[in-house]
Structure 1
Amino acid sequence: MTFKDHLDSIFVAESEIPEEFRLTHEVHQREYLSNGKMHSWSGEVHEVLSPICIKTPSGLKRKVIGTYPLCNEAEAAEALKAAVTAYNNGRGEWPTMSVADRITCVEKFTHRIIEKKNEVVKLLMWEIGKSHADSVKEFDRTVEYIYATIDALKDLDRQSSKFSIEQGIVAQIRRSPLGVVLCMGPFNYPLNETFTTLIPALIMGNTLLFKPPKHGTLLHYPLLEAFRDCFPKGVVNTIYGRGNKIIPDLMKSGEINVLTLIGSSKVANELKKLHPKVNRLRAILGLDAKNAAIITANADVKLAVQETVLGSLSFNGQRCTALKIVFIHRSLADVFLNELSEAVAQLKFGMPWQSGVALTPLPEQHKPAYIQECIADAIAHGAQVMNENGGATNESFVFPAIVYPVKKGMKLYTEEQFGPVIPVVPFDDLEETIEYLIESTHGQQVSIFSNDDEEIAELIDPLVNQVSRVNVNCQCQRGPDVFPFTGRKDSAEGTLSVVDALRSFSIRSLVATKLNENNKHLINAIVDSNSSNFLSTKYLF
C-alpha cells in the first residue's frame, strides 16, 4: 500500500470500527450541576463533532458524538451564587470542615469516578482523537494525581498539627481556603489537566465554578453525579456555554477569588482585566509555550532525534510542553534532518483504537488549515518541507512536516503551532539560541542536547533565568507531578505540582497568643475538646 492509499484509507465505515471501541449511542447531555442539583436544560445546545470521520455514501463525515447545553448568563450567575453561598465568607460547611473529612469526601469521589473509567476513556478517544492507550493513561494518571494530592495534604497537615513558639508567642499555622474558584481546563488533557487544578482547589476548602473545555466536554458528564453526591451543596457547580458570553459577567461581579485557566495568555489577560479588584484576584495559569530544543555540535544525534520525535509529536504535538522549535548546530543539520525524517516516517498513523498508533486526527476543525498556512508561509520565505509526505492532509488528519531552515520572520519561528509541525533552525553560535529565548514572549522549558559538560553548564546558567525548567538530553515534560510546573513571561502564573498546587489554592493563616498561664489553659481546653477544626493537634494517618 502506498502512502497515499494509506492516508486515503485511515477513515473507515462505522461497521469497520471494532465493536469494543464503537460509540453505541450518542451522548445528548441535557443536565448541568448547580447548587447540589442536576438541573434540566431545554435551551440551545452545542453539537459535538468528533475529529474521527466516518466513510458514508456521500463521502467522509465527522462523527456526531452528541450535544451539551449552551447555557446563558443567567445560569452562570445562579452557579456563582451557589458557590458564593456555599463558601459563605469562609463560614460554610466545606471551608470549615476538617481536613480529614474533606479527604474522605475526595476519596469517596475518586471511588465513584473509577466506576466510570471505560465510559470516560471512550469519550476521550472520540472527542479529542487521543489514542486508546493514551486515553487510558490519562485517566489512570488523574486517579494517581488525586491520591498523591491526598497524601501530600496529609503530610502538610501533619506538619501543621504542632504549635510554634517564638519570642514568647505561641501559634499554630495552617492553610486556609481562598474562596470561589473559576476553573477552566484545556482540550488536550481535558481530564488530567483540569483535575490538576480542580482537585487541589477543592480539597483545600474552596468552592468551584467548573467550565469544561470546548473539546472534551461530554467526557465530564458521567462524573457530574459523583460531584453532586460526594460534596456539600453548592461546592461544585458546572457552567456550560460560550466562554465569551458567560465568563465576562462572572469576572465583573468581583466574586471570583481565584481564576485558574489552562489556555492562552491572551484570554487570561482579558479575563483578569474584567475583575473590579485585581489585587484580590489570585490567578493560577498554565498558558502558551514555545519550548525549544538546542542540539549542539557535541550532541548524540540518535538520542536527540529520539527525544525530538517524542517531544514534538506525542499527541500530535498538542501539548503545552511539546518541543515546538528545534535549533540544530549547522555542522549536524544534514545528518539530523535525515535521521529525523526517517524516524517520523516510521510512526504509525491512523485511528485512536489501533494498537501502537502514534499519530491521530486533530480535534480543532481549523487546525489542518492553520498548519498548511504555516508551512506555506515558511516556504514563501525560503524554507522547505524536508520529509517525504510532510504536511499531507486528509480531512482532520495531518502527517507531520519537518520544515527547514526556519528563520526570523516566519510564523513557525514565533507562533505556537500546537500541532504536527517540527520547525528546525540552523545555528552557528550558542549565543543565537540564548538570544532567541531572551526575546521570546514564552518561558516554560527548554531541552539541551550535548555530551560536553562545560557546554551544558554554559547554557544552564543563562537559561534557568529565562525558563522554569531546563532538560538535559531529554524532551520537555510536565512530570513527575511532584516536580514544580510553572513558567516565566507569558507561559504561566503560579506553580502547579502536587504540593505546590495545595499552596497555590490556599493561604497560610495562624492563631497566635502570648504564652502565659491563662492562654495556655484556653488553648489546651480548645484542643482537648476538639471544638475547633483549625486549632487542633489531630494527627492524620
Structure 2
Amino acid sequence: MSEVQILASVQQFITRQHGHFIHGQCTDAESSERVALVNPATEQVIATIAVATEHEVDQAVQSAHDAFHHAWADTSPYERGQKLNKLADLVEQHAEELAQLETLTTGKLINLSRHLEVAQTVVFLRYFAGWATKIHGQTMQPSIPSMQGEKYTAYTMRQPIGVVAGIVPWNFSLMIGCWKIGAALTTGCTIVLKPSEFTTLSLLRLAELAIEAGIPAGVINVVTGTGQTGQYLIDSKYIKKVSFTGSVPTGIAIGQQAMKNDLTRVSLELGGKNAAAILADANIDEILPTLLQATFVHQGQVCAAPERFFIHQSKYDEFIEKLTGAIQQFKIGSPLDESTMFGPLSNKAHFDKVKQYLQMAQNNDQVISGGKVLAGIGYFVEPTLLKVTGVDDPLFIEETFGPVVDVIAFESDEELITMMNHSRFGLTASVWSNDLAKALRLIPQIEAGSVWVNMHTFLDPAVPFGGVKASGQGREFSDAFIEDYTELKSVMIRY
C-alpha cells in the first residue's frame, strides 16, 4: 500500500460549513437543507454542501451582471489573459490540494487527478488566456452604389454576450468547470457555475483562488445544490448563455428551456455510445495498452471514452482473449493508493445504474469477463467485457458511462460503417489501423464530432470538441468557442 496522506489544508477545507461563493466571498447558506458529499471508496460522508435558494441564485447572477458591465468590462483583453494565467499559476501551486479534493469526492485515482485533471486544467486555462488579445472582427467594402459621391465602409466586431450559466458534471468537475471559466472570461463574459451536487469542493476552492489571482469579485460565482438550483440559474433574466456538460435527457431539457427564455444561447456537450473500430491489419499487442487506457480511464466515466468495439472477424478471438487477460490484471482498490489501477464509480446513483446494466448482461448470459459488483465497502465493480446479439441490443444502444465494453465482429468496411452509425449518439469514434489510406476513407463516413486514429478519449485545447446528433451542439476549444460566447455586430458607415 502507498496510501496518500491527506493534506492538513484539505482536511481543514472539507470540515467547513460550506455555503456559496458570491461576489468574491464565501457566503452562509440561507436554507438549512444540505447535501452530503460521500467518498465513493469508503461510503463515508466527508462534507456537506448547501442547496441554493432562488434568492441566492439571483444574488449570484446579479453579481455577475454587475461585474460584466463594470469591473470586467473595464479590464483590458491583455489583463484578462494575465489574470487567467495567474489563476493557472495558483492551480499549479495548489495542485496536490485540488487533486486530493477531486479524488476524495469522485473516486478518481490520485495520479489521474494530479496528472490529468489538475495538470490539464492548467494547460486549458493558459490556452484560453492566449486568446484574450486575439478576438477580432473584419473590415469590408460594401457594394452600395454612390448617388452623390458618398462612400461606404463596414466592419464587424465581436462583443461578449454577458452572464454565462456554467452547469458542470461530476466526472471532471475542476477541469470542465475551467473550460467554461476560460471560455467565458477570455471573451469578456462573466459566469455563475453550478457544480454537480456530488463533486462541489474543488470549484469552491478554485473560486477562492480566482480572487487571489486578481479576478474581480462577481466575475466568477459558484452556487451549489441539486437540479432545482440549476433550474433557477437557467431561468434567471440576466443569463444570456447556458453552457451544459452532462447527460442527453438533461441536456435536451435545458436546451428546450433555454429556447423558451427569449432564445437564450446554449451549448450542449452531452453523452455518447462511442465506437472504436479495430481493422484487420491492426496489431493487437501494439494497440492494447493505449486502447485500455482510453477505455478505462476514470473507470470509463468519460463522455468521450469508447463503449462499442467493432472488431474485424479475423482479429475477434485474439482481441477478446488479450483484452480479457489485460483487464483481469487490473489492481482494484483505494483511489488514494498510488499503485491502484482501477477505482470506484463516483457516486451511489451511478453505481446503482451500472449495476442494473451488469445484471441485465448476466441475465442474458452476455458477460465475457468481469460483470460483478465487488463485495464490501465502496462503489466498486469489475471492468467488464460483454458480447452483444446485434446493434439493436439494449446494451449496445444505451450509454452506461462506466467500465462496460460491448464487442461485435464485422467483415466489410460497409458493414462497419453501417453498424458504427447505428446510434442516436455522435460524440466520438476511433479507427485502429496501420492502413492510413483506409482510415482516411472511413473518417468522412463516420457520424461523430471527433474521430481519432490509433488513439481515443484524450483532448487537446487546440482541437475543437463537441458532438453531432443527440450528443450535443456547439464546440469547445480551438477558436470555435469564441462564436458561442460573443455576438457579431456589423457596423456600416456612410461618409
Query: What is the TM-score with the length of structure 2 in the denominator?
Result: 0.89
**Structure 1 38/47 Cα, relative in aligned 2: closer, same or farther at 3 Å?**
same
Greater C-alpha Rg: 1
The CA deviation at 1:117 is: 2.4
The CA deviation at 1:78 is: 2.1
**Structure 1 392/330 Cα, relative in aligned 2: closer, same or farther at 3 Å?**
farther
The CA deviation at 1:287 is: 0.5
The CA deviation at 1:397 is: 1.1
Distance 2:157 2:322 in 1: 54
Distance 2:421 2:391 in 1: 14
Residue correspondence of structure 1 range 6-45 to structure 2 within 5 A: 17-20=3-6, 24=11, 26-41=14-29, 43-45=32-34
Aligned to 1:492: 472
Residue correspondence of structure 1 range 278-357 to structure 2 within 5 A: 280-357=263-340
Aligned to 1:525: none
Distance 2:41 2:201 in 1: 16
| Unmatched 5+ stretches in structure 2 | 143-150
Please state if 1:107 is matched with 2:85.
yes
Aligned to 1:238: 222
The CA deviation at 1:461 is: 2.9
Please state if 1:135 is matched with 2:113.
yes
State the number of aligned residues: 480
**Structure 1 221/457 Cα, relative in aligned 2: closer, same or farther at 3 Å?**
closer
Q: Could you tell which deviates more after superposition, 22-31 or 358-367?
A: 22-31
Please state if 1:77 is matched with 2:77.
no
User: Which amino acid counterpart does residue 66 of structure 2 have in structure 1?
Assistant: T
Contact 2:53 2:229 in 1 (8 A): yes
> Root-mean-square deviation (CA), in Å?
2.6
1:57-100, CA deviations, whole angstroms, 9 ceiling, x for partnerless residues?
xxxxx22211111122221122223223333xxx4332353212
1:467 aligned residue (448, 452, 468): 448
Please state if 1:482 is matched with 2:470.
no
1:284-313, CA deviations, whole angstroms, 9 ceiling, x for partnerless residues?
221011110112233222234333312211
The CA deviation at 1:402 is: 1.0
Residue correspondence of structure 1 range 8-407 to structure 2 within 5 A: 17-20=3-6, 24=11, 26-41=14-29, 43-53=32-42, 62-87=43-68, 91-137=69-115, 138-154=117-133, 156-157=134-135, 164=139, 166-167=141-142, 169-170=152-153, 173-228=156-211, 230-243=214-227, 245-275=228-258, 277=260, 280-383=263-366, 385-387=367-369, 389-394=370-375, 395-407=378-390
1:454-478, CA deviations, whole angstroms, 9 ceiling, x for partnerless residues?
5434422311xx112222222x224
Runs of 4+ residues over 6 Å off in structure 1 = none
The CA deviation at 1:509 is: 3.2
Distance 1:386 1:485 in 2: 33
The CA deviation at 1:123 is: 0.7
The CA deviation at 1:495 is: 0.9
User: Which amino acid counterpart does residue 214 of structure 1 have in structure 2?
Assistant: E
1:185-221, CA deviations, whole angstroms, 9 ceiling, x for partnerless residues?
1211111111111221122111211111222201223
Distance 1:431 1:379 in 2: 31
**Structure 1 427/279 Cα, relative in aligned 2: closer, same or farther at 3 Å?**
farther
Q: Percent identity?
A: 25
Partner SS state of residue 489, structure 2: strand
Distance 2:234 2:99 in 1: 33
Contact 2:461 2:477 in 1 (8 A): yes
Query: What is the TM-score with the length of structure 1 in the denominator?
Result: 0.82
User: Which amino acid counterpart does residue 215 of structure 1 have in structure 2?
Assistant: F
Distance 1:493 1:45 in 2: 33
**Structure 1 468/17 Cα, relative in aligned 2: closer, same or farther at 3 Å?**
closer
Contact 1:251 1:272 in 2 (8 A): no
User: Which amino acid counterpart does residue 29 of structure 2 have in structure 1?
Assistant: W
Q: Could you tell which deviates more after superposition, 353-362 or 188-197?
A: 353-362
User: Which amino acid counterpart does residue 85 of structure 1 have in structure 2?
Assistant: D
**Structure 1 453/68 Cα, relative in aligned 2: closer, same or farther at 3 Å?**
closer
User: Which amino acid counterpart does residue 114 of structure 2 have in structure 1?
Assistant: V
User: Which amino acid counterpart does residue 141 of structure 2 have in structure 1?
Assistant: E
